[in-house]
Structure 1
Amino acid sequence: MSQTGSVRPWYRRMTARRPDEPHRSATPLELFFDLCFVVAVAQAAAGLHHDVAEGRVGHAVGGYLMVFFAIWWAWMNVTWFASAYDTDDDVYRITTLVEIAGALILAAGVPRAFEVGDFTTITYGYVVMRLAAVTHWIRAAAGDPGHRAAAVRYAVGVAVVQLGWILRLHLPDGWRVGSFVVLVLAELLVPAVAERPGMTPWHPRHIVERYGLFTLIVLGEVVLATSVAVQTGVDAGQRSLWSLAAAGAVIVFALWWLYFDRPVEVSTRLRRALFWGYGHYLIFASVAAVGAGLAVRVDHERHQAHLSGVGSAYAIAVPVAVYLLTLWALHVRRQQRGPARAAYPIVAALALLTPLGPVPAHLLAGLLFVLVAVTVVARRRSTSSTAGHVRR
């Protein structure tokens, strides 16, 4: 059949998609990609849970932040690239499946990273994902002359930093943390430098949807971790854990409500877009950590945690406080006015006091319930005020 026939070629020229394309939504490949990342998120949360329950809090937090960065950064870069250049041809699909394979390799290395501090497998999986991303950017440079400078900078920058991650495996143990921080900064600088010649044509509404979907994934991990922990305790005859499960459910529901209370918008200005996109690292990491914290609290109730009651309560309160402050900085601070705007930092501060109370998880659930109520009232007043101005 001729090239102008109805059969689609096995590849197509990678041209930019329109940033104002109507009805732009997540594709089945993107949803499959997210689903495979569930494994990595679950492994990271499980590692945090077990280390904190054993009393190795410093080791747990450090390892978790490092592991979660690899998960989040790889996911984020695939997401933003797909928003601008998803051609959905065979080459694009195969390259994305290679990135998924890298995510599974990364997930397989998470337990060893927590247990003995060996990041070799995680690094290999991460580099597989990122080098596949280089293939994407090379195709974009060839197919989109208008954004070629940005695509070339991405391809070169990502490739150079991956060489750094490989070399890091051969450094002395004393250099591992410092080299990690340097390479993280290098990763974060690549988009900031690459986008300056002209921002790639990512789709704002599509990006918001993708971030919302990943938020749902980490919330799902909280539900799963809490459910499994409570089930284990109930099977052992501790019916009192049902009360903790109810408090955990209110916490999860409140976290969901607060994130999705109002339509989210992301600015197309580079600095604000980077702030919004990078800030979600704390959103995703803190939500997954809430699930680990609830599991730690269950372990404490079952007398299986090498951690005090106050310490196990802080395992929930700290990530909740981080979540509220980050959500306030990214969404609420710009969208709300009046008392509701200050409610998030206030509740975050009060959340850090709940571990000193008699039933910390229940107190935290009550605080979040009040914050949801304040948010709902503020939204309704804002809607009524807007409707009144329109009628005039």
Structure 2
Amino acid sequence: MMPSSTPSPAPSGAPGNRGPLRRLAARPRDEAHRTASPLELFFDLCFVVAIAQAGIQLVHAVAEAHTGEGILNYAMVFFAIWWAWMNFTWFASAYDNDDALYRVVTLLQIAGVLVLAAGVSRAFEDHDFLAVVVGYLIMRLALTGQWLRVALSSEGPERTMALRYAVGVLLCQIGWLGLLVLPEGGRPWVFLVMALLEMCVPLFAEKDHPTSWHPHHIAERYGLFTIIVLGETIAAATIAVKSGIDENDALDDVLPIAAGGLLIIFAAWWIYFVVPIHGHLRSNRQAFLWGYGHYLVFASAAAIGAGLEVAVEQTVGKAHISTPAASAAVTLPTALYLLTVWVLHSRHFKVGIAQQLVLPSTALLVIGCTFLGDWAVLAAGIVTALAVAVGSALTARMVTRERRETADATA
């Protein structure tokens, strides 16, 4: 969406209108120069604290050969983090008026994710989800308050939509209490049912009146969070490599992992940002599929960092798993990331079978690298880097051909 040549007047709920307390009115979907606010950036950074804790616990679980249990706990905790982040992001895109009450409620949601982060280790190690559930409830109840505020500031279909959100979110929180009272064996089923119900709330609430989210702002917010998650992945991998060098004097052993991991992360960034996805977000149906699919994008991006830590620990003898298992901790989330980004982003902008096959083929080759022993991570990094090079070359070739055809047509 291109901004208009002259800025439109700020709506009643826009940050340009100062005051300690204002109506929480919808911002226009075509608002010019809509960008992420400093509060939203702070919000994202605080959420990465919880993602880092989930990644650390995933490393411990996989390194101790408790892979299945670790992945299940990671999926559950990451859903709580991602869903709370996503709901705030879409709400803020439509209703951020930046007054004092809005800021305080947002800071309360940040406090909730910090409570959740503090309970991640107990959730993984002792299957005690009390702090995770309490932190999640804080975030969700704060958002419920925001929706009630929208209902008080609006009328007609918009008010109905806001009340549906408030009631739906509130009822779901009652269901999540099952994680605290039901036997351990039933918790995965509670999680599955409640996750599906949570994801149905926006579909139900907006079936008659969609919110006025801003396509360019949403694309920017998701892109910024992707950058932050990839940055956390680099930080986790760097700490693991440093530990391997300092504690085990294993520079020669961990150097291929470090190089391969860096190539993977650089390629992950390149592949995600090579297309202007905001132009694809034209309706709720497209936007919801795209937004929901980012659970896999964010979770796999964070898991790559955890996998690199596992690979380093296995190389220096601290992980009780085989070399192929440690390699798979890197290659499988990398392949999942590539496939998910292709489905959500790249395929909408690729022309011809050759361009469409680059990322799916790369994902398969990355999985194949799992069985290359100590060189698996480096090989996976080279494969992803080559995918970027091939994709760029095919795009450049297509652009050159189009320019030549245009020149011939006008000659």
Q: Shorter-chain TM-score: which interval?
A: over 0.9
- The residue aligned with 2:9 is none
The alpha-carbon deviation at position 9 of structure 1 amounts to: 3.5
- Which of structure 1's runs of 4+ aligned residues deviate more than 6 A? none
Match among 299, 302, 324 for residue 288 of structure 1: 302
Q: Tell me how far apart the structure 2 counterparts of residues 371 and 129 of structure 1 sit (CA, whole Å).
A: 40
Q: Tell me how far apart the structure 2 counterparts of residues 367 and 306 of structure 1 sit (CA, whole Å).
A: 27
TM-score by length of 1: 0.96
Q: Tell me how far apart the structure 2 counterparts of residues 112 and 245 of structure 1 sit (CA, whole Å).
A: 30
295-304 or 144-153, larger mean C-alpha shift? 144-153
Superposed, 1:158-177 pairs within 5 Å as 158-177=169-188
- The residue aligned with 1:239 is 251
- The residue aligned with 2:54 is 44
- The residue aligned with 1:252 is 265
The alpha-carbon deviation at position 24 of structure 1 amounts to: 0.5
Q: Tell me how far apart the structure 2 counterparts of residues 292 and 69 of structure 1 sit (CA, whole Å).
A: 17
280-289 or 235-244, larger mean C-alpha shift? 235-244
Q: Give yes or no for the alignment of 1:274 onto 2:284.
A: no
Q: Tell me how far apart the structure 1 counterparts of residues 121 and 169 of structure 2 sit (CA, whole Å).
A: 26
Equivalent residue letter for 1:307: I
Are the aligned partners of 2:109 and 2:138 in contact in 1 as well (CA < 8 Å)?
Answer: yes
Deviations 1:160-196 (A, max 9, x none): 0011112441122232111111100100100111111
Q: Tell me how far apart the structure 1 counterparts of residues 382 and 90 of structure 2 sit (CA, whole Å).
A: 37
Match among 79, 102, 117 for residue 127 of structure 2: 117
- The residue aligned with 2:27 is 17
Are the aligned partners of 2:259 and 2:381 in contact in 1 as well (CA < 8 Å)?
Answer: no
Q: Tell me how far apart the structure 1 counterparts of residues 201 and 173 of structure 2 sit (CA, whole Å).
A: 12
Equivalent residue letter for 1:152: L
- The residue aligned with 2:342 is 328
Are the aligned partners of 2:178 and 2:187 in contact in 1 as well (CA < 8 Å)?
Answer: no
- The residue aligned with 1:212 is 223
Q: Give yes or no for the alignment of 1:182 onto 2:189.
A: no
Are the aligned partners of 2:275 and 2:346 in contact in 1 as well (CA < 8 Å)?
Answer: no
The alpha-carbon deviation at position 384 of structure 1 amounts to: 3.3
Q: Tell me how far apart the structure 2 counterparts of residues 295 and 244 of structure 1 sit (CA, whole Å).
A: 9
Identity of aligned residues (%): 47
Helix, strand or coil at the partner of 1:352: helix
Aligned length: 387
Q: Tell me how far apart the structure 1 counterparts of residues 40 and 401 of structure 2 sit (CA, whole Å).
A: 39
The alpha-carbon deviation at position 383 of structure 1 amounts to: 3.3
Q: Tell me how far apart the structure 1 counterparts of residues 404 and 93 of structure 2 sit (CA, whole Å).
A: 37
Q: Give ranges in structure 2 of 5+ residues lacking alignment.
A: 1-15
- The residue aligned with 1:65 is 75
Distance 1:7 1:76, change over 3 A: closer
Distance 1:133 1:7, change over 3 A: closer
The alpha-carbon deviation at position 300 of structure 1 amounts to: 0.9
Match among 81, 91, 105 for residue 91 of structure 2: 81
TM-score by length of 2: 0.91
Distance 1:385 1:21, change over 3 A: farther
Distance 1:314 1:388, change over 3 A: same
Deviations 1:59-92 (A, max 9, x none): 1110111110000000000000000000000110
- The residue aligned with 1:228 is 239
Distance 1:378 1:143, change over 3 A: farther
Distance 1:194 1:231, change over 3 A: same
Q: Give ranges in structure 1 of 5+ residues lacking alignment.
A: 1-5
Distance 1:59 1:20, change over 3 A: same
